[in-house]
Structure formats: C-alpha cells, structure tokens
C-alpha cells in the first residue's frame, strides 16, 4: 500500500462506550477485567434502527448487548442482571458527602504516616471530625428509617 493509500485507508469505527457496552468497572465487575478472559473484539456495522432494536431486546432481557449476542450463539448461558436497588437520591447524596469527608481524613492520616509526620496531626481534630461523621450517619439513618426507608435507627 502506498503512503497516499495508507493515509486514506478506512480506520476501524470507534467502539461504542455506552454504559451497557465495553469492559468498564461496575459493582458486578469492580476491576474492569474481562470475565473469562474475553480478549477479542468484534465490530458490527448496522443501521441505527437495528442498533436500537438490539438495545431494546437486550434491555428487555436485562442483559448487555454483548452478553445477549454471545448467548444467541450459544457460546454462553446468559444470566439476568440483578436490578439496581432503589435508593433515595437524597440519602445517596448525604452518604456520598460523608464518604468524601472520611476519605479526606484517611488520606491526611496516610500521607502523614508515609512521611513520618504522625506527630504533626491533631488527634483531637481528627477525633472531632470522625465523631461528626458518626453523628451525621446516625442522624441520616434515623431520618431515613423514619421516612419508611429500610434500616434501623442508630443504636
């Protein structure tokens, strides 16, 4: 192939990166690694209508498109995805904020320990921050349980 032909050569289409496709980390696949050593990729060209139909069929079956297609070839036995648990968005936001605070504290402690500066940390400030997070978690849990959410009030 000449240099001019090489520059005009058709490149493979980019792979779809929608949530149901590709090897992404998720609660069911936390490392993002391929299950069973899936290492090969197949690029499938289709019309927009065909793609919409594939997505619809996969969603109705509760599967990803790739799992549905491999299942249709009898290469695997498709398993249904567990439905995502329903959770109050406000509860999730509150827990996320508390988790962020806790991660910041852990990062500060780990950094100080790695540098050998543990004596620089204010133990009372750390304890105060941790107790504050504990109180926030207890209040959030009690509030959520009081609104008919699942869970028990704080001990």
Number of domains the chain contains: 2
SS3 annotation, the chain: CCHHHHHHCCCCCCCCCCCCCCCCCECCECCCCCHHHCCCCCCCCCCHHHHHHHHHHHHHHCCCHHHHHHHHCCCCCCCCCCCCCCCCHHHHHHHHHHHHHHHHHHHHHHHHHHHCCHHHCCHHHHHHHHHHHHHHHHHHHHHHHHCCCCCCCCC
Domain that holds residue 31: 13-72
pLDDT at 153: 40
Do the domain assignments include residue 68? yes
> pLDDT category, 135, cuts 50, 70, 90?
very high
Q: Do 96 and 64 belong to one domain?
A: no
Do the domain assignments include residue 128? yes
Q: Report pLDDT digits (tens) over 22-51.
A: 555 556 555 555 556 777 888 888 899 999
């Amino acid at each position: 192939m000449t240099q001019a032909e090489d520059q005009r050569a058709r490149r493979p289409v980019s792979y779809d990166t929608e949530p149901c496709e590709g090897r992404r980390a998720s609660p069911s696949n936390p490392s993002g690694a391929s299950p069973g050593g899936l290492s090969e990729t197949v690029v499938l060209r289709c019309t927009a209508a065909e793609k919409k139909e594939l997505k619809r069929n996969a969603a109705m079956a509760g599967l990803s498109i790739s799992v549905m297609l491999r299942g249709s070839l009898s290469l695997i036995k498709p398993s249904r995805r567990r439905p995502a648990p329903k959770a109050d968005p406000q509860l999730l936001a509150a827990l996320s904020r508390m988790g962020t605070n806790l991660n910041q504290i852990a990062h500060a402690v780990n950094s100080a320990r790695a540098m050998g500066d543990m004596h620089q940390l204010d133990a009372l400030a750390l304890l105060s921050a941790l107790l504050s997070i504990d109180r926030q978690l207890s209040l959030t849990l009690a509030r959520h349980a009081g609104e008919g959410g699942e869970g028990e009030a704080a001990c």
